[in-house]
Amino acid sequence: DAGVTQSPTHLIKTRGQQVTLRCSPKSGHDTVSWYQQALGQGPQFIFQYYEEEERQRGNFPDRFSGHQFPNYSSELNVNALLLGDSALYLCASSVGTGGAYSNQPQHFGDGTRLSIL
Amino acid sequence: AQSVTQLGSHVSVSEGALVLLRCNYSSSVPPYLFWYVQYPNQGLQLLLKYTSAATLVKGINGFEAEFKKSETSFHLTKPSAHMSDAAEYFCAVSKGRHDMRFGAGTRLTVKP
């Protein structure tokens, strides 16, 4: 049973470029959340996708956008990259959103390390 | 808004000693609380979760945590540290909508 998989594992970009990160959720999961983890800090919530729609969003600018596909996989897009966007980007999957599933833990992938030069 | 504070960015213990990692939460409603562990170059792995069923929660790898509402705390403990426990530990809180808020993390070092 494959867990959460993310690609690529590492990525190097320059300021102003655009990047797309990909995530496949754990089998049976339908909700995907994205987090940014800067060096030495805890993960910060970017947004969450469920039923192909953005359901919740953290305090991140519109340069950060996403998409969820019918097979529940997801992409994170970041435009006009800044040096401060250098971080580990984590994808987490879970079942449902709120309600009876509200206490279900999220399962994390190993992340994509994004470096901006 | 809910949040967590982890006291101590770095904790060092000897192998076989008690591990105590501190976490305090703030939440306007009863929260769901989690502890995750992160090994170098890896994602986060769930250690345990509190969902109001029991105040003492047992997790994997011999870890446990106790929910204390009066102290708004959810400290993580392990009776005897192993070298393999060296990692970064994160406390997280959620109000049930999956937008988990993480603490800044505590790096655990285990000395031989």
Distance from CA of A113 to the nearest CA of B (A): 9
How far is the first Cα of chain A from the last one, in angstroms, to the nearest whole number?
Answer: 37
- How confident is residue B2, by pLDDT bands cut at 50, 70 and 90? confident
Do A97 and B100 make contact, defined as CB atoms within 8 angstroms? no
Look at residue A46 in the predicted model and tell me its pLDDT.
Answer: 94
Nearest to A92 by CA among A45, A41, A42: A45
Please determine, for residue B3, whether its predicted confidence score (pLDDT) is greater than 80.
yes
Distance, in Å, from the CA atom of A66 to the CA atom of A49, rounded to the nearest integer, reads 8
The CA-based dihedral angle spanning residues B83, B88, B89, B92, taken in that order and rounded to the nearest 10 degrees: -160
Distance, in Å, from the CA atom of A73 to the CA atom of B25, rounded to the nearest integer, reads 32
Q: What are phi and psi of B86, to 5 degrees?
A: -65, 120
DSSP-derived secondary structure letter, A101: G
Give the closest of A44, A98, A111 to B97, CB-based: A98
DSSP-derived secondary structure letter, A106: P
Q: Taking a contact as any Cβ pair under 8 Å apart, which residues of chain B between 27 and 56 contact chain A?
A: 32, 34, 36, 41-46, 49, 51
Please determine, for residue B51, whether its predicted confidence score (pLDDT) is greater than 70.
yes
Quick count: other Cβ atoms within 10 Å of Cβ A13? Answer: 16
Query: pLDDT (tens digit, 9 = 90+) per residue, B66-107?
Result: 999 889 999 999 999 999 999 999 999 887 555 688 999 999
The residue that leads in pLDDT, A12 or B101, is A12
Do A33 and B98 make contact, defined as CB atoms within 8 angstroms? yes
Give residue B9's identity as a one-letter amino acid code.
Answer: S
Do A103 and B99 make contact, defined as CB atoms within 8 angstroms? no
Look at residue B27 in the predicted model and tell me its pLDDT.
Answer: 73
Cβ contacts of residue B42 below 8 Å, gap of 6+? A110, A111
Asked if A15 and A117 touch (Cβ cutoff 8 Å), the reply is yes
Query: pLDDT (tens digit, 9 = 90+) per residue, B62-75?
Result: 999 999 988 999 99
Look at residue B1 in the predicted model and tell me its pLDDT.
Answer: 67
Asked if A105 and B49 touch (Cβ cutoff 8 Å), the reply is yes
Query: pLDDT (tens digit, 9 = 90+) per residue, A17-54?
Result: 999 999 999 999 999 999 999 998 999 999 999 899 99
Gyration radius from chain A CA atoms: 14
Distance, in Å, from the CA atom of A1 to the CA atom of B44, rounded to the nearest integer, reads 18
Residues B29-47 as b/e (b if ≥16 CB within 10 A, e otherwise) read eebbbbbbbbeeeebbbbb
Residue-averaged pLDDT of chain A: 91
Q: Which residue of B has its CA nearest to A58?
A: B99
Q: Is B97's Cβ below 8 Å from some Cβ in A?
A: yes
Look at residue B94 in the predicted model and tell me its pLDDT.
Answer: 82
Distance, in Å, from the CA atom of B36 to the CA atom of B105, rounded to the nearest integer, reads 9
Look at residue A94 in the predicted model and tell me its pLDDT.
Answer: 87
Do A103 and B103 make contact, defined as CB atoms within 8 angstroms? no
